Amino acid sequence: MKDKIRIGAGSAWWGDRVEPAKMNADLGRLDYLCFETMAEATVSAAQVRARRDPTFEGYDTYLDDRMKAVLPGCMRQGTKIISNQGWINPDGAAQRIVHWLQTLGYKGVKVASVNGSLITDKVLSMTDRILENGKPTASLADNLISAEVYLGAEPIAQALAAGAHIVVTGRVADPSIFMAPMMHEFGWDPMDAARLGQGMGIGHLMECGAQVTGGYFSDPGFKDVPEPWNFGFPIAEVEPDGTATLCKVAGTGGAINLQTVKEQMLYEVHDPANYLTPDVVVDFTTAQLEQVGVNRVKVSKIGGKPRPATLKVSIGCTEGFIGEDMFFYAGPGALRRAELAKKILTERFRIVGLEADDIRIDFLGLNAIHGAATPAHAPEPYEIAVRVAARTRTREQAIKVGREVDGMAVSGIGHTGKRVPHADRTREVIGVWSSLVPREKVPASVRYFES
């Protein structure tokens, strides 16, 4: 057993920057580099694209960019890679990684794909109720496009034990990607809630990448960090009991301190004493944090409770369309003109018979974020963007939004600024619902490929 392993973050979501991952691969002296590229809607969006585009491979569209950037450093350093970039096609992603290994001259590298998370064809028979509203999951049948279970760390650890140097998965709980190498290297029992609680806690700190090194943290004059244009992604130096020291590559921007770590620790955590994951229930209330050096924070004593009997299922459904556009006013009287523009559009939507479940006309720069909670005495802005959006059942109805905004160019108010040329102003809405499934009904499987 190693006395310490170094695990680095490679991404926190699909659109994350590639340069910090390359920096970790080249200079991080890592044992593992882990990529998290999914948000709740990512897989559903992939399913929608797959239905429309038969050439879509089903895995992360930035897979090539990331692998070309990090494979040389990882192969040189002996760094293993774990990634959920497989989305709805882990096998295809694994084969694509094999392609890049071969192209770059790395032969005999074992790549594993983890499958089992995709249960679209059987989710309605395996689940009962929608967590958000209590309705039967069967009520989603007409609009269902995808269903993915959040798998845990065990199949990843299995693949590593079988000699895989790179493991690519579909839907896996974000912190499990980072905890799997701890299970493998330190021989943790999947039922050891104390060890897994600490490991999943560290995984949670790592999963959002730069958020623990100062990203999504800065508030100028109150919470400042150096060089926020040059964030490094975090590295965890993990010991066999799960105690870890968070750090980053020297010379990168941002900061790792008690503030950044505490903010990320509580990020998207509903109950700090009972953070539910597939592998363990994490208890952050016992955590101990210690600043042990510049950009070095030691994290220990995160608690753990036995894992849930069920796994969460993310269910994607079509829920109509959104039509959206905007136009602009500037200078004295901008708010006065924007308010008249809102009245004009409200009447125009009535005249053309817009059938919408919801309509919003917001003034960016005044009330678009806080809406009705915007103070009545808010200062009048010098310039305003009028954002118009409607949620409809059909694309034909959604198109009416842009058509009426077009009319404002010559049939509107003086000084109306219009965007031209404009992009597609309609998009399909993908709703994401949740349910639970007994974990024994969702067995994972692992396939192996070699470059």
> Residue 289 forms beta bridges with which residues?
299
* pLDDT tens, residue order, the chain (451 aa): 889 999 999 999 999 999 999 999 999 999 999 999 987 777 777 887 888 888 999 999 999 999 999 999 999 999 999 999 999 999 999 999 999 999 999 999 999 999 999 999 999 999 999 999 999 999 999 999 999 999 999 999 999 999 999 999 999 999 999 999 999 999 999 999 999 999 999 999 999 999 999 999 999 999 999 999 999 999 999 999 999 999 999 999 999 999 999 999 999 999 999 999 999 999 999 999 999 999 999 999 999 999 999 999 999 999 999 999 999 999 999 999 999 999 999 999 999 999 999 999 999 999 999 999 999 889 999 999 999 999 999 999 999 999 999 999 899 899 999 887 667 899 988 889 999 999 999 999 999 999 9
Q: In the chain, what are the domains? A: 5-116+151-308 (no CATH), 316-433 (3.30.70.2750)
How many Cβ atoms are within 10 Å of 437's Cβ, its own excluded?
A: 21
The dihedrals phi and psi of 135, each to the nearest 5 degrees, come to -75, 160
Q: What is residue 41's predicted lDDT score, i.e. its pLDDT?
A: 72
What is the rounded end-to-end Cα distance, in angstroms, of the chain? 28
Nearest of 168, 175, 204, 4 to residue 95 by alpha carbon: 168
Q: What is residue 420's predicted lDDT score, i.e. its pLDDT?
A: 75
Q: What is residue 421's predicted lDDT score, i.e. its pLDDT?
A: 67
Q: What is residue 47's predicted lDDT score, i.e. its pLDDT?
A: 80
Q: What is residue 45's predicted lDDT score, i.e. its pLDDT?
A: 79
Q: What is residue 328's predicted lDDT score, i.e. its pLDDT?
A: 95
CB 197 within 8 A of CB 282: yes
Q: What is residue 362's predicted lDDT score, i.e. its pLDDT?
A: 97
Total-model pTM: 0.94
Task: Give the Cα separation of 90 and 4 in Å (integer).
Answer: 30
Strand order in the sheet with 32-35: 288-293, 296-300, 244-247, 235-238, 5-11, 32-35, 80-83, 166-169, 110-115, 445-450
Q: What angle do CA 171, 175, 179 make, to 5 degrees?
A: 110
Q: What is residue 43's predicted lDDT score, i.e. its pLDDT?
A: 75
